[in-house]
Chains A and B, each alone.
Chain A
C-alpha cells in the first residue's frame, strides 16, 4: 500500500519541518531538497526515521537530491530496498 507509506513519510515531514503548513501544499512532487524544505540535518533526521521504522539502510550516495527530492522518489527508493514496506 504505497498510499499509507507516502502518508507516513508526509506526516513526518509536515510535523518536523513544515509545522503549520496546509498539508495540501505538500504533494508527491514538491521538491524537498531543491525546495529548501530539507536541509542537511533535516535530511539526516528523515533518513534515520525511515531506517528505524522500515528496517532499511541507506548508502551515503543514495542520500542525495536525486533520491530524496520528493515524496514519490523517497517511496520508490524505500520500496526498492524493502518491497514489503507499507
Chain B
C-alpha cells in the first residue's frame, strides 16, 4: 500500500464493498464500494478539469455523503483538499479559496452564485462543480457528475500514488493579522496520526464513529480516516442537530454510536440539557474530546450520567493534530475542580518544554510546549515568515513546532496546560485570534478603537468582550454591531459583550491598556 491518506479507505472498500461506510441519519447511506466508485468518478472529473498532483480543490459543501466523496475524490486525484465553512460569510470563504489558488471548487448549488461573485471580485475564476445540497445518500454529487458527463465524458484516470510529503489538506484557522491562515498538512502528517489512533483506540469494523466536527475543523481527520481505515461506519451529524442537545442525545442512542469525538462544549451541553438518562448508550465505548479545556464540573456530570465509556482528553493544535493524550480516570472526584492534564506525548511524536530563549526548562517548571515528529505540519500556506516563527530548530537540526501553549511537565511525563503565550483563545473548540476580531471591528465606520479581551467563564469556558470607542456621538446599537460582526466573522468569533467608552484606557506609552480592561469586568 502507498503512503496516501485515502489508501487505507480503498483497501477497506476492496475488502468489504457491501459494508456501510457513511450514514446520513434519517436520510441516506452509502456502502464502501459505492463511495469508492463515486469518489473515483469525481477523481476522473477533476483530472479532466486539469487537477493533478500538487493542486488544491476547494470544498464548499455542508457535511454530507457528497462532501465525504469529494474529499476522497480530491485525494485520489493527487490534490490537497481545502474545506471551507459554507456557513461563514462568503467573502471569508472566497478569500481562503483564492489565497491557496484552488483549481476547482465543489460547491453547494444554492451557494454557488454568491461564492462565485465573491471569487470574481478577487479576480479568481476556479472551475465550479455545483452539487444540489437537497439530495441525500450521495445523489447530489452523482447527479452533478452525470450532468457533466452528458456534456463531455471524463476519461478514466488513475488514482495518484501520493508521496508522504504531498499535501493532503489545508485547514484555515483564525489569523492574528485579521486574515485566516492556511495550515498545510501532508499525507504523512495525517497517516501517522491515523495509525496512532489505531494503536490507542483499537477500532474494529463493528464501530460506529460520530462525525460531529465540521470538515474544516481538524477533529474531522480522526472521525473520517480512522473510521474508513477500519471498515467502520461514519455517522454524519449535521449542523442543525449537532448543537441541539436533547435531539443530539437521542441521535447518539438511535445511531448506536460507539466512538464519540467532539469539542468539550457540546459534551457539556449534552450533560446539562441532553436528558441522557432517558436513553440507552450501551454501545458507546469511548468518548474523546479535544479543542479546549473541559470544565471539570460538566465533565463530572457527564461521567456520572454515562459511567461506562472510557474518556480521553486529546490535545493538539491544528499544526500537529493530536499530540498529547490522557485517559481520564473515573470516577471524577467530587472535590476536583482543576482541569485534567493534557497528558503524555503521542508515541509517534516528541515533546519538549522550552523557555523563551529556546532552552529546555527543568521538569516541573513552566515553558512552551514544542513538538517534533511526523505529525507536524509543513508550514502556513504562502506565509514563510509566520512559518519560520512557528518553529524552533534544535541542536541536531530537528524542527520543533512551537505550540504557543504554556505547560508544565510532571514526573511521569504528563503535561498540564496552563495558558497561552499570545492572544489566541479557544471557543467551542475553534481557535479564535482576538486580533482578527479587532481587525474586523475596525472596519466599522463608526468604530474608532477596538480592544477584544477574553475572560474565563464557567458556563462557556471563555467569554469574549469587545471594548470599543466611537468616532461619533451616536454609537451603533448592540443589534447593529452584532449584525456587522455576523457579516464579517464566523458566528463563533462574535463577542458576547460589547462595552463602549468615550476613549479606551491607555498606558503611559499611549497604547491601549489591556491590563486595565481585563480588570474592568
Contacts and interface: CB of A to CB of B under 8 A. Distances in A.
Interface residues of B, number: 22
Contact of B244 (A34, A39, A60): A60
Interface of A: 18, 20-22, 25-26, 30-31, 34-37, 39-41, 43-44, 47-48, 60-61, 63-64
A35 B482 contact: yes
28 contacts: A21-B477, A21-B478, A26-B479, A30-B479, A34-B486, A35-B479, A35-B482, A35-B483, A36-B483, A36-B485, A36-B494, A37-B482, A37-B483, A39-B492, A39-B494, A41-B269, A41-B460, A44-B243, A44-B269, A47-B244, A48-B246, A48-B273, A60-B241, A60-B244, A60-B247, A61-B240, A63-B240, A63-B244
Tell me the interface secondary structure of chain A in the complex.
Answer: loop
A20 B477 CA distance: 10
A36 B147 CA distance: 38
Tell me the interface secondary structure of chain B in the complex.
Answer: helix
A31 B483 contact: yes
A73 B18 CA distance: 45
Given A40-B491, A44-B245, A48-B273, A60 B240 contact: yes
Given A21-B477, A48-B273, A36 B240 contact: no
Interface string B469-495: 000000001111011011000011010
Contact of A18 (B244, B479, B491): B479
A9 B128 CA distance: 42
A61 B477 CA distance: 31
A41 B478 contact: no
Given A21-B478, A25-B477, A40-B491, A64 B240 contact: yes
Contact of B478 (A20, A34, A40, A47): A20
Nearest to B250: A60
B243 A36 contact: no
Contacts of A37: 479, 482-483
Contacts of B479: 18, 21, 25-26, 30, 35, 37
Interface in B416-447: none
Contacts of A63: 240, 244
Contacts of A47: 244
Contacts of A41: 243, 269, 460
